[in-house]
Amino acid sequence: MNKSCNKQSIRAFAAKKYIMPIEKITSLQNDRVKNLVRLQKSAERKKQNLILIEGWREINQAIDKGFQIEAFYLNEDKFEEIDKLSGKIYLLTPHVFEKVAYRENTEGIIAVAKPKYHSFATLKLRENPLLIVLESVEKPGNLGAVLRTAEAVAVDAVIVCDPLTDIYNPNVIRSSLGCVFSVPVIVCRNQIALRFLKEKKIRILAAELKANKRYDLTDFTQPAAIVLGTEATGLSDEWISAADERIIIPMLGEHDSLNVSVSTAILVFEVLRQRGFKVQ
């Protein structure tokens, strides 16, 4: 990127009819700067119905999926031209941008956007659907990694039940590489997810440590929902008792727990293998 933030690039941006005039912010006491810091908190994001997106790749994903961008905030030392920018643009001096940036080694761009929330009422299932269900997921990095896997295998949806983290936590956005914008994510209570799966006749396959059915000996060719719990406590009795099958990933080491994102990847790629790598 051009660290000089050359005036020609700025003029090129401003000359485009769909771009608002660029404003420069130099003070940490600016109201917009203060609000960006507040939006790093989940409660404030919910209150304002806004989310923060950092990084060119993640922002492009959101734009491609129709997310409404309210404003862009750019580090003047890393400013570069990009055709998809539209709306309000604020140019921040480096020390101000450092204050509002959530992650290290940022690419010099932050977008404020409106979130989108999916529901079962609008979810479109394919003929042979595959869903991932996560119960009480707590770590944003784990959720983000699961979403990357979900996008890689083109699941119909990721259902997040009784979550302990915000699906639009900046760390979820970062660790998912923006896949949170492209994968349908439904947040709900356990009972609502269970009712939906039963109504749609989707088999519930619960991954848990006390199961005796090996995952690779399980039939994944039918409509399936793979359900995983937290690494600390596993799945609740509610999911275990409702499961059509309880499955396990055999482990030979001393420890009895895989990272939930790793477990998800193992299971869903077994689904693809059995289905001939065609999720329909």
Per-residue three-class SS string for the chain: CCCCCCHHHHHHHHHCCCEEEEEEECCCCCHHHHHHHHCCCHHHHHHHCCEEEECHHHHHHHHHCCCCEEEEEEEHHHCCCCCCCCEEEEEECHHHHHHHCCCCCCCCEEEEECCCCCCCCCCCCCCCCEEEEEECCCCHHHHHHHHHHHHHCCCCEEEEECCCCCCCCHHHHHHCCCHHHCCCEEEECHHHHHHHHHHCCCEEEEECCCCCEEHHHCCCCCCEEEEECECCCECCHHHHHHCCEEEECCCCCCCCCCCHHHHHHHHHHHHHHHCCCCCC
pLDDT at residue number 102? 85
Q: Check if the beta carbon of residue 215 is closer than 8 Å to that of residue 262.
A: no
Which sequence spans correspond to the domains of the chain? 7-113, 130-274
pLDDT at residue number 64? 92
Superfamily of domain 130-274: SPOUT methyltransferase, trefoil knot domain (3.40.1280.10)
pLDDT at residue number 53? 96
pLDDT at residue number 173? 96
Spans of the chain below 50 pLDDT: 1-19
pLDDT at residue number 224? 98
Contacts of 211 by beta carbon, 8 Å cutoff, 6+ apart: 246, 247, 248
pLDDT in tens, 24-55: 999 999 999 999 999 999 999 999 999 999 99
pLDDT at residue number 212? 85
Superfamily of domain 7-113: Ribosomal protein L30/S12 (3.30.1330.30)
Mean pLDDT of the chain: 88
pLDDT at residue number 15? 46
pLDDT at residue number 21? 56
pTM (whole model) above 0.85: yes
pLDDT at residue number 277? 75
Q: How many CB atoms lie within 10 A of CB 170?
A: 23
